[in-house]
Amino acid sequence: PATPQFAPLPVGRGTLQAAPAPGALPYTVYLGNLHSQTNHSDGGAELDNCKGAQDPLTAKYGPDAAFAYAHKHGLDILVASEHNHMYDGSDGTNANADPATATGLYRKGLDTAAAYSAANPGFLALYGMEWGVINKGGHVNIFNSDQLLGWEKNGKGELLADVATPRSDYAALYTLMRERGWIGQFNHPSTSGQFAIDGQALGYTKDGDEAMALCEVANSTAFSTNDRESETRRSNYEAACNKLLEAGFHVAFSTNQDNHCANWGTAYSNRTGILVPNGTPLGRASFVEAVRARRVFATMDKGSQLVLTTNGRLMGERFTNSGPLSLVANFASTAGKQVAAVAIMEGVPGRGGMVTQLSSEATTTFTPAPGAHFYYAKVTQADGNVLWSAPVWVTQEGR
C-alpha cells in the first residue's frame, strides 16, 4: 500500500549529523529498551551461563555494565527495571534481611544511572523498578521513583523498602503513583488474571489512567542469550493492550526485551521510540515528559519509524473534533524497508468492547460518529516486522 512521503526524523545517535527534513516534525527519535534486569534482581548473567532468571543478587553484571553495554551497542536509552521484592536477596522473603541494605542498593542503582547519564550526554541510563508479582498480580514498571516500594518485612517486622505498598493492590499503587508523579508501564500484560481492580482484570481507575502511560505490545523472549539481534522467540500482548485501551486507559505501545542475560538491547532489533523536541537534551525529565505525552511508538525494526498525525495533531494527543478527521500513518525506514500492510485501528475508551480495523490505507479521511474514540496505526513491513503508533483520542462533536 502507498504511504505518504515522510522523511525519517533524526535519531539520537545521528543528532550531530542529521537535520530535520523541511516540513518534518520538530522531534528527535531516541530508541530505547525500557525493560531489563541486572544483578540488582534476577538478571545480569553471562551469556554462556544464562539459563533463565537468576537467583537474586547473584549474577555477574550490574547496572553499570548494563548501561555501558547498551550504550556501546547503539541504544539511546536503557531502563534497568529491577524486581522490587528481590532487594532482600530472595525471591521469597528473607527474614534476616536488613532494610538499610535493601534500600541502599536501590539508591546505589539510581546513583549509578545518574552518573552514567551525566558522563555520557546523549545516552539516558534509567533505573527503576518492576513492581509486583505475576501470580494473581501483574508487573508494572515505574520509571521515575527515587524510593523503593514494597510489602515484604523481615523477621523483626521491618519493611524492606522505603514506602509500603500492599502486594497486588493496583488501585492503591495507581493512587500513590499519581500523587507522587510517577509514570508506569504495563509489562507483558495478560488478557486475564492480572492488574485486577475489584476483581476485574485490567481494571480501570482514574488514578491508574493518569499514572500508567505505556503498554508492552510485543517483546522478545526474556531469557534470550542472542546478542546479534536475531532472536526468533517473542510474545505479543496487543490483545491485552487493546483491552486496557477499551477500559479507558490512555496508554501508548512499547516493545522491549526484558533481558535477564547480559545482552541488554541486542536480543532483537525491537525498540521503543521516544519523540523529544529538537534542541531539548535527552534526560530523565525530557523522557518523562515525552512518555507522559505518549509521544512514543513501538517498532520491531530499529531502522523504521511510525508517527500517526491527525488534523495537524500528533499521536498521543487528546482533542475535540468537528467535521472530517484525517488520520495519516507516517512511515519511514532508514534502510529502505517496504510496507506490506497498513491497518488503522479504532476503539472506544471505556466501552469494554473490541478494537477493530477501520482502514487499510495510510491516509484515511472520514467523519466519526459523535462521541469518544481512539485510533492507532499498525504497519507490517514486507520482512514481517511490525510497528505500532501511539493512539490519538478524539471526542467527536455531534453533527
Q: DSSP string covering 210-228, please?
A: HHEEEEE-EEE-TT----S
Residue among 180, 177, 237, 168 at smallest CA distance from 206: 177
Cα dihedral across residues 68, 269, 354, 363: positive or negative: positive
Q: Which three cell numbers stand for residue 337?
A: 524497508
Answer whether residue 399 shows pLDDT above 70. Answer: no
CB-count exposure of residue 190 (10 Å: 0-12, 13-18, 19+): middle
- Give the pLDDT band (50/70/90) at residue 23: low
Quick one: fold of 34-268? TIM Barrel (3.20.20)
Q: Residue 15 above 60 pLDDT?
A: no
- At 7 the pLDDT is 83
Cell digits of residue 116: 552514567
The CA distance from 390 to 7, in Å, is 19
Q: What is the pLDDT of residues 313-365, one digit of tens each?
A: 999 999 999 999 999 999 999 888 999 999 999 999 999 999 999 999 999 99
Q: Largest alpha-carbon pair distance within the chain?
A: 67
> Could you tell me the CA-to-CA distances from 41 to 59, 81, 92, 286, 380 in Å, in that order?
9, 9, 12, 27, 35
Q: Which amino acid is at 295?
A: R
Q: Taking 90 as the threshold, does the pLDDT of residue 177 lie above it?
A: yes
In one-letter notation, the amino acid at residue 186 is F
What pLDDT shows up at residue 2?
78
Query: Cα 24 to chain center, whole Å?
Result: 25
User: H or E segment at 124?
Assistant: strand 124-131
Q: CA 388 from chain center: how many Å?
A: 12
Calculate mean pLDDT across residues 53-78: 98
- pLDDT class for 17, splitting at 50, 70, 90? very low
* Distances 167 to 150, 179, 192, 200, 338 between C-alpha atoms, Å: 8, 18, 18, 16, 46
Round to whole Å and give the CA distance between 322 and 239: 30
Cell triple for 82? 529491577
- The per-residue pLDDT of the chain, averaged, comes to 96
Percent pLDDT > 90 in the chain is: 92
pLDDT band for position 291 (cuts 50, 70, 90)? very high
Per-residue pLDDT, 1: 75
Which pLDDT belongs to residue 4?
85
pLDDT band at 22 (very low <50, low <70, confident <90, very high): low
- Determine the Cα–Cα distance for residues 338 and 380; give it in Å rounded to an integer: 9
CB atoms within 10 A of CB 383: 12
Q: Give, for 298, the enclosing helix (H) or strand (E).
A: strand 296-299
C-alpha 138/C-alpha 196 separation (Å) is 9
Indicate if the pLDDT at residue 18 is higher than 80: no
Kind and range of the H or E element at 394?
Answer: strand 392-396
Digit-coded pLDDT (tens) for 356-377: 999 999 999 999 999 999 999 9
Cα–Cα distance, 299 to 307 (Å, whole number): 11
User: Do the bridges between strand 339-347 and strand 371-381 make them parallel or antiparallel, or are there none, so unpaired?
Assistant: antiparallel
Cα distance between residue 141 and residue 130, in whole Å = 4
What's the pLDDT at 10?
86
Separation CA 106–CA 98 (nearest Å)? 13
Percent with pLDDT over 70 in the chain? 97
Residue 372 phi/psi, 5° resolution? Answer: -90, 140
Contacts of 92 (CB under 8 A, 6+ apart): none
- Flag whether pLDDT at 60 surpasses 70: yes
- Residue 154 confidence (pLDDT): 98
pLDDT, greater one: 47 or 6: 47
Are 177 and 211 contacting, i.e. CB atoms less than 8 angstroms apart?
A: yes
For residue 159, give the DSSP letter. B
C-alpha atoms less than 13 angstroms from C-alpha of 10 in its C-beta half-sphere: 19
Task: Quote the pTM value.
Answer: 0.97
Residue 30 has pLDDT above 60, yes or no: yes
pLDDT digits (tens, 9 = 90+) for 120-161: 999 999 999 999 999 999 999 999 999 999 999 999 999 999
The separation between the first and the last C-alpha atoms of the chain, rounded to the nearest angstrom, is: 32
